[in-house]
Amino acid sequence: MKHRVVSLRLPALVQEVLLALFITVTQVQGTIVRNAGEVVQRPLTDLGNLGYVLLVVSGVAVAARRRWPLPVFVTTALASLVYYGLDFPDGPGWLGLYVALYTLAAYGDGRRSLVIAGVGTSVLAIAWLVAAADIEPRAAIGWVWFRIGASVMSAALGESVRSRQVIAAEAKERAELAERTREEEARARVDAERLRIAREVHDTVAHAIAIINVQSGVTAHVLDKRPEVAREALRTIEQTSSRALREMRAILGVLRDDDGDGDGRAPYPGLGQIDELAAKAREAGLDITLEETLPSVPLPSAVGGAAYRILQESITNVIRHVGPTRVTVALSPGIDALEIRVTDEGRRAARHPSGTGDSAEPGRGIVGMRERCQLLGGELDAGPLPGGGFEVKARLPLTPTGSRL
């Protein structure tokens, strides 16, 4: 049914032509019928049927009202001024003018169109009153006031329609903007979560693989000569891989958590596990020293998690790129920030049996650490030391300004 109704709708041009034809016939026929049998001051046939011409012109002009609202209004207003100025008989010859006034206000450009409509109506009112100065009987001047009032009402109705259209368009635009904003925010949240998961996966896997690489090298080197050392190395590999798998399940669990409450997922690592991290580093061949000052108040979870990951990545980089060496880890919680420093003494002359410490392709470890700091409003510096070795320094505000990691 809906399709049939839409298919029967006439094109806009046809509608305008039919409206203009209706107004033209009504103006001409209505004027003839109203003045039939009466003596008029000037019949429509005077001056070469000028009265008919003016009625037809003001009616036909309506067909172009939507495309040229101002010229149509000017045409109908001039036709009305000439018609009543020459004392042609009164009748519904103002229909085209009213439609033109309505169209000018409804489809014009707002304030300018209203000013034109107001000035035009004022000029018409004055001209109509002057033309009716000697009208007889005097009661007939009521029709003049009717024309003035109807002109004002036509302009007011057009402005009302235009205002409603503007309000509707603004509401639609706001709704579309809100929808776009919601979509952009949703995409931003998805991108942030994807980045967080990628960073966590990188840190977890890189650290575990680095330790497994060292221990597997040790195993291969001492398997025949010192089986007890090989057995201990294999046990370390098993524990490291098991821990990495648990952390991976915790990180990726958000993707499987339909309820979104996170129940059953392991907590993210924090500074409470730094001793375990140091123990794993020692098993990988590092001589690691912890210089840790206990914070006066518990650290925010976001700061603790970021600090742990920065330490983990720094130690992983030492294992991968330097090999067995001395490493100093210093944690200094202050009043408003946690300062972290990881320093290594550089590569030793003798290489580890596994070959760890060879140059590797540059990764995204330092970039990831810097991103973690920036997300919390902190900063990170990393670079070689003048006397050899490498140092990573980070400062994490205790009141994070970024999003939770």
Look at the alpha carbons of 290, 370, 379, 184 in this order and tell me if their dihedral is positive or negative.
negative
Q: What pLDDT shows up at residue 393?
A: 92
Long-range contact list for 26-30, CB < 8 A, 24+ apart?
26/59, 26/92, 26/95, 27/55, 27/56, 27/58, 27/59, 27/91, 27/92, 27/93, 27/95, 27/96, 28/52, 28/55, 28/56, 28/59, 30/91, 30/92, 30/93
What crossing angle do the helices spanning 69-85 and 46-60 adopt, rounded to 10°?
150
Q: Cα(103)–Cα(154) distance, rounded to whole angstroms?
A: 9
Calpha distance 80→98 (Å, rounded): 11
Which residues 6+ apart lie within 8 Å of 186 measured at CB?
A: none
What's the pLDDT at 174? Answer: 86
pTM for this model (two decimals): 0.48
CB 331 within 8 A of CB 271: yes
Supply the pLDDT for residue 256: 54
| pLDDT on residue 56 | 92
Please confirm whether the linkage preceding 71 is cis (ω < 30° from 0): no
What confidence score (pLDDT) does residue 361 get?
A: 46
Can you list the alpha helix ranges (DSSP code H) found in 322-400?
365-375
Could you tell me the two tokens for 349? 């002359």
Report the pLDDT value the prediction gives residue 355, as an integer from 0 to 100.
45
| The pLDDT value given to residue 356 | 46
Q: How many residues does the chain have?
A: 405
d(CA 132, CA 84) in angstroms, rounded, equals 8
Pairwise CA distance, residues 213 & 146, whole Å: 98
pLDDT at 279 (0 to 100): 84
Q: What are the structure tokens assigned to 239, written together?
A: 């524990």
User: What pLDDT shows up at residue 99?
Assistant: 92
Give the residue ranges of the chain where pLDDT is below 50.
1-2, 5, 258-265, 350-362, 403-405
pLDDT at 53: 92
